[in-house]
Amino acid sequence: MPKNTSIRGLRAAGALTALASLGLVLSGCSSYDVHSPADARGDAKNGARVGAGAVDCAKERCIALTFDAGPSEHTPGLLDILKKEKVPATFFLLGKNHVIKHPDLVRRIAAEGHEVANHTWSHKILSGQDPDSVREELARTQDAIAEITGHKPTLMRPPQGRTNDEVAKVSRELGLAQIMWSATAKDYSTTDSELIKKRILDQADRDGIILLHDIYDGTVPAVPGIIEELKKRGYTFVTVPQLLAPGHAEPGKVYKP
């Protein structure tokens, strides 16, 4: 992936992304486990419980909307939809050409109660990089987001879901847990909003993590229909941390429904 990652570049990577479209791709031998949201809740220490008034995903039919590779010119409209529908989401942001280009949108995402997370600086495939390069990709985005919001993310999503032990080690050093997904519309490959909606609804399940991109033309118009139908099915929308509560995403570990 070129250093100057663009929407066109991300779309061109679609064929490779398809290999990881349903989640985790481990490169080489792995010495760590993949943890589900239920695992995280079960790992909560000292009998921790979900706080009063918070969603308890051990009891509720929860699902998490996540958006990768923004923010972009489509993000304001998406935030308007989420605000109207009272739906929280998790945004895995790209540093170069996105976070640094749209600081006001990063600030708005955080201010409106969404989870701000890390999707690397330039969308390099981390499993193909040496540790110093992995560290730079993640740390630069951590610093850029913290400068805008005052807080460093605790979650990251490796591009194309490709990870390995070195990525896990660096993530742990930086205080980042790795978050994968269970449903994707492959919206890099189509502008058909109805198709995007159908693909997500076909894959939606309890404790699911939905992957969409707020950088493509067909994605944001699909979101209202996705939200409406999943609410009808009895789902409660939560951020990724809320999905894991009262457990917490531990740095370095991989979480996937």
Catalytic position from the list 35, 68, 102, 214: 68
Dist. CA 225–CA 50, nearest whole Å: 30
Q: What angle do CA 101, 75, 64 make, to 5 degrees?
A: 120
Tell me if residue 119 is catalytic. no
Q: How far is the C-alpha of 203 from the C-alpha of 48, rounded, in Å?
A: 31
Residue environment code for 55-67, b if the CB has 16+ CB neighbours within 10 A, otherwise e: bebbeeebbbbbb
* Active-site pick, 74, 207, 213, 214: 213
Report the C-alpha gap between 36 and 90 in whole angstroms. 17
Is-contact 32 252, C-beta < 8 A? yes
Written as six digits, the tokens of 163 are 């990870």
Instruction: Report the C-alpha gap between 161 and 188 in whole angstroms.
Output: 15
Beta strands (DSSP E) in the chain are 25-26, 34-35, 62-70, 90-93, 115-118, 155-156, 162-163, 177-179, 183-184, 208-213, 236-238, 254-255
Q: Indicate if 213 belongs to the active site.
A: yes
Q: What is the DSSP letter of 128?
A: G
CB atoms within 10 A of CB 80: 12
Residues recognised as catalytic: 68, 213
